[in-house]
Structure 1
C-alpha cells in the first residue's frame, strides 16, 4: 500500500481527527524503526525502539470496518513486537473516540495516562489523548514474517 492510498483510508476513517497526509506517512516510513503493516482496506504504522512498540496510526476504510481488518493488524503487530523483544505496546487514542476505546479495551489495553487537549479535531476543537498500554510476552520469530519493516516495506 502506498502512502497516498493509506492517507485516503485515514481521511475516510478519521471522521473527527485530522488525518495524516501522504507526505507525513512517507516521512514516518523513512525511519528504520518503523513497520507498516497493511491489508487491502487498512493499515497500521508502528515504531519499535528500545524494547517498546508504539502504534503511531491505525485505520480501516469505513466500508471494511467491523470485518476483522484492525484485529488482524493488531494481532500481527503484537506478534512482531514480541518477536523483536518488546515487552509492551503503547498507543494514544482520542478520548471521544468511543469505538476505538472499546476496541482496545476488549483486547486488553490499559489506560496509563492522559495528554489533555492533545488532539486538534477537524472542527478546531481539542480532545484528550488517552495513553494505553498492552503488556506482551516474547514469541519466537516467524521464519517468514508477513510484516513490512524498514528494510522490507510494502508498497
Structure 2
C-alpha cells in the first residue's frame, strides 16, 4: 500500500462525499457545499489516496480542508475525515500538519476549528497539536444536539535546524 497526499480535485468529490456521509452520518455536508469548497480559490483541500487500490471504496483514505481567504490572517479547518480502515496510523495527524504548513505559507497567524464535544479522539489530536479550547457552542451539531468545542491555534513558525554533520566532530 502506498498512500499519497495531494490536492483534492473535482473528480474526488464522489469519494469524498461517500466518506463524509459514512463519517458524519447526521451532520454531513451537502454535496453542493463540498463542491464549492473544493472549487474555491480560498480553500485548500487535501486527499490521502492509494491510486493503485482496485476497490474504489478503499482508494480514499482521508481528506481535510482549510479555508483561508486571501489577505486574511485567520483561517478555519473546515473538515477532516479518515476512513475506518485507515485510522490509527497517524493519517489524521499528517493531514493536520499539512494544513498547518499551508496556513503558515499563507501567512496566517491563527487557525480555528470546531469539534464535536463527544469526539474524544479528534479533541486529543487537536490538543496535541497545540489547539486550545476557546468556547462552546451549545447544541451546535444537529439533529443530535451535541455541543461544538471551538478551538484556536496560534500558527507556529517554521522550525529550521542546521543539517546534522555525519563526522561527529565539532568545531
Q: TM-score with structure 2 length normalisation?
A: 0.73
* Mean Cα deviation higher: 62-71 or 20-29: 20-29
CA distance in structure 1 between the aligned counterparts of 2:91 and 2:31, rounded to whole angstroms: 21
The structure showing larger relative contact order (alpha-carbon pairs under 8 Å, at least 6 residues apart) is: 1
1:129 aligns with 148
Instruction: Give the unaligned 5+ runs of structure 2.
Output: 1-7, 50-60, 160-171
Matched, 1:18 2:27: yes
CA displacement 1:101-144 (0-9 Å, x = unmatched): 11111221100111111111xxx33011110011113449xxxx
Deviating above 6 A after TM superposition, structure 1's stretches of 4 or more consecutive aligned residues are none
Q: TM-score with structure 1 length normalisation?
A: 0.80
Matched, 1:47 2:70: no
Instruction: Give the unaligned 5+ runs of structure 1.
Output: 141-155
Matches within 5 A, 1:92-131: 92-120=114-142, 124-131=143-150
The structure having more radius of gyration, on CA atoms, is: 2
Compute the RMSD of aligned alpha carbons. 1.7
Match of 2:88 among 61, 66, 73: 66
1:83 aligns with 105
Per-residue deviation, 1:43: 0.5
